[in-house]
Each structure stands twice: as structure tokens, then as C-alpha cells.
Amino acid sequence: MTTDATIRVHGLEKSYNDLRVLRGVDFDVAPGSIFALLGSNGAGKTTVVKILATLLGQDAGTATINGFDVATQPQNVRESISLTGQFAAVDEILSGRENLVLVAQLRHLKNPGKIADDLLARFSLTEAGGRKASTYSGGMRRRLDIAMSLIGNPPVIFLDEPTTGLDPQARIEVWQTVKELADNGTTVLLTTQHLDEAEQLADRIAILHQGRIIVNGTLAELKALLPPATVEYVEKQPTLEEVFLAIIGDDSDSVGAHTVRDTTTNSEER
């Protein structure tokens, strides 16, 4: 645990009737970093985000955002965060610019037009700003959704599986947007079930399995949990997928050791 964490979660528990979804979740997120909460469907990722966003109460444990307790200081927490869900929450009847202006007006901010124009430029949507959001591609719509979440400059943003349903190119666009958020000082908590997404984006990765964080570290630290690669000619580092499956286990128990295929050929075979 760090002393200057923007997000701090300790002993978080949540049950739905007899179903224990969270069984004592602990993690910290450093300021201006991207923290990936990685897990399969039903692991409890969205439940964690809902508790942190004050949309759901926990049964036990504590969580603070910017020093504010999510249970006892929910209003302060809400003023510190923004949440982007699994599907873009844009009004398709309005243009991209009108969506942004509307949110700025609802937040009672000055100069909503300038705020909208600045965000359109920041997210490379200026040329599309006058078009209805219904004409946007999946990547453009998601970028607009994230732009709307940033109105008011929240220091913390939660992205709950932000690339759900997007094609590969749109995913890359969203990845770049997320990296830029952290570069500009925003603390990002990202939930995903896509291993490559966590590998591409996160400064730290926590694997949530059966309601608990079973490992938490940098990509290099997670890779170091596996035995060294068997080296014949070229060393092959483990992928995050291999780390993930080795930690949580699978039915075949086929993960846990990895070898390197010899791709060389001798001169007689060429």
C-alpha cells in the first residue's frame, strides 16, 4: 500500500443474497497512473467500480477517492470522479458538440461552447463536431463518451470495459485516448477482460478472481511469476495471457511452463 494513493481499497466485500461477489478486495492506485482491474466475466470488476462510484454500497471494507470515503462522503467522491460505462452514453439525436455543450450546461460551467470546442479538438473530433452522433463510428462515439466524462476536469476516471463491442481499429483509438488521459495527470481505473488491453495500457495490473485480488503488480512483475522460459536459441518471454491463466488455473492445467520453438533451419533444408 502506498501513502499517496489517489484510490485506496481495503477489505472490500459485497454479496447478493447468498452469492459472495467480493471477498476482501485490496488495492491502491497511484496518482496519474493507469490501473487495470483484469478478470473474467462475473469476477466482480463492475461491482468494484459501482462501489467506488458511490452507486452501490459495500457490505464491509473501506474505499477512498482523493481522501474521501465512498460510504460517508459520497458527494465529495462524486465531485472527484467520472464514470464511463461499457456502452457509450451519447445522445444520438444531438451532434457531438451539442452532447458536450449539454453536459457542460448540466454541470453549470461557464463557457460551455468553448469547453465543447476544446474537447472536440483534444479528441480529434472537430471536423465531426457538427454531425449527429448517430453517424459516428464506434471509436468516435467512445471517444466522445470519454470526452463528455472529462467535462469539469475530474481527477479520477473509471472506464468500465471501454472497448466492449469495438473493432480493432476503434480499440486502438480508445487506447491512445486513455494513454493521453494519464499523460495529462488523470488517474485512470480501467476494468477489462482483454489481456492485450491491460498489457498495452496499464502501469499496474491486478487480477480479480473469485472475488479476490490474487496478484497485483507491473507487467514485468507478473511475468516474473512464471518459471524462466526454456531457451534453445531465442528467449521467449511469457505473455500476459500465459500469466493470467497460470495464476487462476484452467481445466486442462496446460499452462505453467512454456518452451520456445526452434525456428532455425539448416543449410540443407533451405
Q: Give the Cα separation of 46 and 21 in Å (integer).
A: 10
Question: What are the pLDDT digits (tens) for 92-144?
Answer: 999 999 999 999 999 899 999 999 999 999 888 999 999 999 999 888 888 89
Query: What proportion of the chain, given as a percentage, has pLDDT over 90?
Result: 57
Whole-angstrom CA distances from 230 to 81, 190, 245, 258, 265 are 45, 33, 18, 7, 19
Listed by start position, the domains of the chain span 1-88+155-217, 219-270
- Average pLDDT on 231-240 reads 74
Record the pTM: 0.78
pLDDT of 120 reads 93
Query: What band does 88 get if pLDDT is binned at 50, 70 and 90?
Result: low
Q: Is the pLDDT of residue 39 over 70?
A: yes
Largest Cα–Cα separation, the chain: 76
Q: For the segment 46-75, what is each residue's pLDDT rounded down to a tens digit? A: 999 999 999 999 999 999 999 999 999 999
Q: Which of 178, 196, 175 is nearest to 187 (CA)?
A: 178
Q: 1-88+155-217, what's its fold?
A: Rossmann fold (3.40.50)
Query: Exposed, middle or buried: residue 51 (CB in 10 Å: 0-12, 13-18, 19+)?
Result: buried
Residue 256 confidence (pLDDT) = 41
pLDDT score at 4: 83
Q: Are 230 and 260 in contact (CB under 8 A)?
A: yes
Dump strand ranges (E) for 200-254.
Answer: 204-209, 212-217
Digit-coded pLDDT (tens) for 192-217:
888 889 999 999 999 999 999 999 99
Write out the three cell numbers for 241. Answer: 495471457
Sorting pLDDT into bands at 50, 70 and 90, what band is 248? Answer: confident
Residue 191 has pLDDT above 80, yes or no: yes
**Whether residue 269 has pLDDT greater than 60:** no
| C-beta atoms surrounding 178 within 10 Å | 22
What confidence score (pLDDT) does residue 251 get? Answer: 52
Residue 270: band (very low, low, confident or very high) from pLDDT cuts 50, 70, 90: very low
Q: What is the pLDDT of residue 122?
A: 85
Cα 267 from chain centroid? 49
Q: What share of the chain is helix, strand, coil (3-state, %, to 5)?
A: 35, 25, 40
Note whether 7 and 64 are within 8 A (CB): yes
